[in-house]
Each structure stands twice: as structure tokens, then as C-alpha cells.
A and B are shown apart, each in its own frame.
Chain A
Amino acid sequence: MSDALEKLLDEVREDLGTKEARSVDWDQVDERVFARIEAQAQEERRAEKARFAPQRRRGLAMAAVGLVAAAAIVAVVVGKTGEPGAEEVATSETAGTVVSFLGDPVLVDGKPAGTGATLRLGDVIETRGGQATVDRPGKLTLTLEPGTRTVVTHVNGALVLALERGAVEAQVVPVSSGEAFAVDVAGSRVAVHGTHLRVARASERDARVVVDLNEGVVAVGEAPRLGSVVGTLVNAPAHVEYDAADPAGSLKQTHDPAAVRPPARTEMVATAPPLAFRPEPPVTHPAAPAAEPRPESHPSSGMASKPSSPAADANAESAVAAAVRACMANRPSADNVTVVVSTTLHLDLFDDGSVRAARFDPPVAPDVNACAAQAIYRERFDHGGAAAIRVDFSN
């Protein structure tokens, strides 16, 4: 390169575009960028709602709802009916069927619904003084406790309920990937892959959410616009409390079985296979030492501070990393696709080295999360405190 060009480039590097970048009207650009992003988000929300909007609404239920429901719920229903194109979208699945109730009959969209009533997307379900059991054959059975009001917001694949107040207890058949059931509370979500849990909220104005988990794993986080929730993984047995406005920052959990509310004694319809949470067979990665079996049940005295743990493992970090990689390797993918993942697993450990909480940063796919949790919470480290495990994977 000539000296003239070298000299010129020195000047150009310093000057070309520098002044212009400074003179950009950033206030205007900022405003436009974020307005477009917000418009995009609204469009996605509209598309998502339209995807799951019902094929047709039933009769005059709207009028009844308008009379009895709280303003927030009215807003949900009115928004739904006004959705452009909603009538064209077919919804093949239902939320389930009311199979029994104790005390007062359940109200669906403000009208009494007896045994056999089918629940659909958009239904507002109220139990008043009674208690209702809903069955979604082969998928889940749920009990709505007295004083509960909830809205069915998603039915295709996963069932999602928006809990306005009260409590929902569910027994969910595990799914191999994705989420089977989720409860939204004021922008937060408790999502499950297969478990027995109860989610409670005192009232519409109360942002405190209480989750009791008897089996399996749940993810707690902000309700996503689309797809699966990315949040804190909680392993049973656990009693969790958090503020819906800040799930990540406020979440507190205890694994003391005595603190976990036992499953309701009410009839749970046995349409599902046995639901004892069984971890997948131990991963067969050569670096992963065979995991010791986890006790199937917890001490009935409920006095233990947390689930009993296997002996401390000096190689726990490599075992966990290997198990996570095995979970990634087991994900289905096309033959001609190379998957490369780099993440760090942050662990919060009890003093005896067993795992209190786990979080991937950056997050991994929900099914990897669920698969990995089974190995992570089985492991016991030879130290307490915290651990950060780098996991790199390539197929």
C-alpha cells in the first residue's frame, strides 16, 4: 500500500463517520427503535392469542361473564372476542372435563357447570365455596380449591391457566419434551414437565405465589411471550414462595418435607400412568460415575432438613457436566445439523454438598433443563457454598 494511502487512512480512521455518529439525533432514533420493538411485541402477542383462540364461542356466555366477573377478567374475555381472525382459528383440544365437584357447582363463564362439562380455551372457571376436579385424559388431573378463579389461556399441547385467586393442585403426566402444564400468576409462570404440584395465590391484588411440589421438577420464571419458560428449576420436594413481579429475585425455596403441603386427599382421577417421579436411567457417558439411586420416598417424620443425599463425590463437577452433555446429546436433531452449546451451570449448594438450586447461564432448552435437573439434584459435592460448571457440547 502506498505511503499516500497509509497517511490518508490514518486520517480517515479518525475522522470518517465519527462526527456524524455523534450528531445523530439519538432521542429520535431511540424513540423509534423502542416503539418498533414494542409494536413487534404486540404483534407477536396478537398472533399468539389468535393461534389459540377458540373456533367459536358459545352462546350468550359473554353476557353472563360481563355481569359477574371482575374487571380484569372482563378485559381478557372482551379482548378475546375482539381478536381479528379469531373465528378462523380451529382449536382441536379442550382444557379438560369436570369429573366431580364437592359443595357448590363450579361456574364456567358465570354459569353453573355440572359433571361432564367440557372446559375450553378462554373459559373463566370459578369454584366459589366448592371444589372441582378436572381431568384431561392421559395428561393431567387438577383440583380447583374453594374460592379459586382461573382462566384457560392455552390448550393446544400444554394447558396453561391464569390464576386470578385461590389454588390449583395438579398431577401431571410427564412429557418427554416441552411443558405439559403451566400456571400463570400476574406475569409469572410455574411450568411443569411432569409432577405433582399446588400453586396458590391469595387474591388478585396479592402478588405472592406459593408453590408446593411433591414430585418432579418445575421451572419458575417470567411468563414468556412465546415458548417455554426460562427460570429457576425447583426439584421436589419443595415449598416455594415468590413475588410474581420478580420471580427470579424473590424466590425462596425449602426442601424440608415438613414444609411441603402434602397432596390433597380428594379424589384424583386415575387416568394417567403412575406418577411417581422416576429419574431417567443414569447417563452412560464414560466420564459420568454411576449415580446412586435416589430414595423413592421421603421420611414420613418430615424432620429432615432436605432430601437424603448420596455420599459426597469428589468428581461431582465432571459427573454433572457429563450428565448435562448427555442430555444435550439425547435431543433429537437433524443429521446434517451441527449443534454447539456453551453454557455455565451455576449451583447453590447446601453445607453438606447437596444441590439447593441450579441455573444455566445462558439458559438451555427446557427439555435439557428438565433432563439435567434429574442428574444435578442427585449429585452431592464434597463442599458447600457454590459451584460454577462450564459445559461445552458439540454433536
Chain B
Amino acid sequence: MADEERLIARAAADDRAAFRELYNRHRSDVARLVYRMLGGRGDLEDVIQEVFVQVHRSLKDFRGQSKFSTWLHRVTVNVVLMHRRAARSRPVFADEPLGEVLAQGGDAGPDEDAERRERVRAFGRLLDRLADKKRIVFVLHELEGISPSEIAKIVGAPVLTVRTRLFYARREIEAMLGEEPSLAGLQLRFSKASGGDGEGES
């Protein structure tokens, strides 16, 4: 950690090699998070690029009052939100895929693997239907494993608000499961196994 602090201080002082090292360390995590929040592969590389340009521009303002990862998440979330807002104002052409990742093909495996891939894709589509604020807290908490208090710092909202968004995000996702054929089967299987409807809140 001390090593990372030194690296951050050097990068903030415009040491290009230190910034490159920080970039190399975090680029994969940023890419995964961007993908999850963006709701698809489209523009992934542009957004990653924008995140790191913003990080470089703002690093001198990073005072170490929060963890670097928290600050990096905040920058990433802001860039994704700006990108989505801009994308919404752009005209969508009829033949443009709507942020959905279709089957990549070419590496078809056993049936179970194919089903799993389809479930993950279907879940991505559900995520994309959530409102931005709910999707962000859901992704950060449920997929990235970040605590609500940390998320509160990232999104700049009270912890209670984060918990509320999380609650409604889960409820909406639960409600939408039945609308995706590949997920409806899963829901049915579990609800039969547990003998109930499986509703619950954590």
C-alpha cells in the first residue's frame, strides 16, 4: 500500500512512468467495471480511455482522504454517467445494436456452459433496464463487493440513500427475472426447490 501511495504521489507530480504503472495496475479492473455499468461492449474502449485521461487530469487533486480505489471508482462512475447521458442524446440508427452483447460464437462448449453464458448475457440486459442510479449502486455492491458506506463516498450520496437504491434495484431485478426466458427457468427451479416464491431481502 505504501508503494502505491508513493506511486500516486509521483504520478500526481507528473511523473509519466509512475502514471503508466498506476494505469497498468488498474486498467483491467476499470475495464470490467465500465463494461458492467455501461451495459455492453459498445464504446468500452473510448470510455476506458476517457477515465484514465480524467484520472491523469485530476490526480493532483487526490489528497489521499479516501482510498485510491474509491476515488478511481468515483471518476469511473462519473465518466460512465456522462457517456450514457451523451449517448441518450444521440440518434440511434435502426441497425445499431442497443448496447446488447449478442452471442460471440466460435467457442461453443457444453450445454451447461452455453446456458450459463446466456444467463449472464440476459442478466446484463436486465441491468441495463435499471435506472442509472440504481444500476450503479447495484453493480458496485452486488458485483464489485463494495460496502454501502464506500459506495456513498463514490456516488456522493448518504448511506441511507445508497441502501434504499440497492433495495429497489434488487426488487426490480427480481421482478424482471421472469421476463427473460433463460432466467425464468432458473427462478422456477429455485422456487420449487425451496417450496415458496423465494422472495427475501438482505
Contacts and interface: CB of A to CB of B under 8 A. Distances in A.
Given A1-B200, A2-B191, A37-B16, 6 more contacts: A3-B198, A4-B177, A7-B190, A11-B120, A13-B142, A13-B145
Interface stretch (A17-25, A274-282, A287-295): A17-25
Nearest to B33: A17
A362 B117 CA distance: 46
14 contacts: A1-B201, A4-B189, A8-B177, A8-B183, A11-B120, A16-B143, A20-B32, A21-B29, A29-B48, A34-B20, A36-B53, A37-B16, A342-B64, A362-B5
A3 B190 contact: yes
Interface size class of B (residues with CB under 8 A): 35 or more
A24 B31 contact: yes
Nearest to A36: B53
A176 interface: no
B89 interface: no
A9 interface: yes
A16 B36 contact: yes
B183 A230 contact: no
Given A20-B31, A340-B63, A363-B13, A37 B199 contact: no
Given A20-B41, A28-B45, A361 B198 contact: no
Interface string A210-232: 00000000000010110000100
A33 B202 contact: no
- Across the A-B interface, the 3 shortest Cβ-Cβ residue pairs: A2-B198, A17-B35, A21-B31
Given A20-B44, A21-B35, A362 B116 contact: no
Contacts of A34: 16, 20
A2 B44 contact: no
B119 A29 contact: no
Contact of B174 (A1, A29, A222): A1
A89 interface: no
A16 B120 CA distance: 6
A178 to B, nearest CB: 17
B74 interface: no
A5 B63 CA distance: 39
A11 B119 contact: yes
Given A1-B201, A36-B53, A12 B35 contact: no
Contacts, number: 127
B28 interface: yes
Nearest to B23: A33
Contact of B191 (A4, A41, A363): A4
Given A13-B143, A224-B14, A3 B27 contact: no
B117 A15 contact: yes
B25 interface: no
Interface in B154-202: 170, 173-174, 177, 183, 186-187, 189-191, 193-194, 197-202
A364 B3 CA distance: 19
B12 interface: yes
Nearest to A19: B104
B9 A361 contact: yes
Interface in A25-42: 25-26, 28-30, 32-34, 36-37, 40-41
Contacts of A3: 190, 193-194, 198
Contacts of B32: 17-18, 20-21
B14 A7 contact: no
Contacts of A361: 5-6, 9
Interface string B9-43: 10011101001100100011101110110000100
A32 B48 CA distance: 10
Nearest to A3: B190
A363 B12 CA distance: 10
A8 B189 CA distance: 12
A341 interface: yes
B64 A362 contact: yes
A100 B33 CA distance: 66
**Most chain A CB atoms below 10 A, which of B5, B44, B193:** B44
B149 interface: no
A9 B201 CA distance: 14
Nearest to A14: B120
Nearest to A343: B64
A26 B27 contact: yes
Contacts of B41: 20
Contacts of A22: 28
Given A12-B143, A18-B32, A340-B65, A4 B190 contact: yes
A2 B200 contact: yes
Contacts of B143: 9, 12-13, 16
A8 B123 contact: yes
A4 B31 contact: no
A2 B187 contact: yes
B63 to A, nearest CB: 7
Contacts of B5: 361-362
A249 B57 CA distance: 26
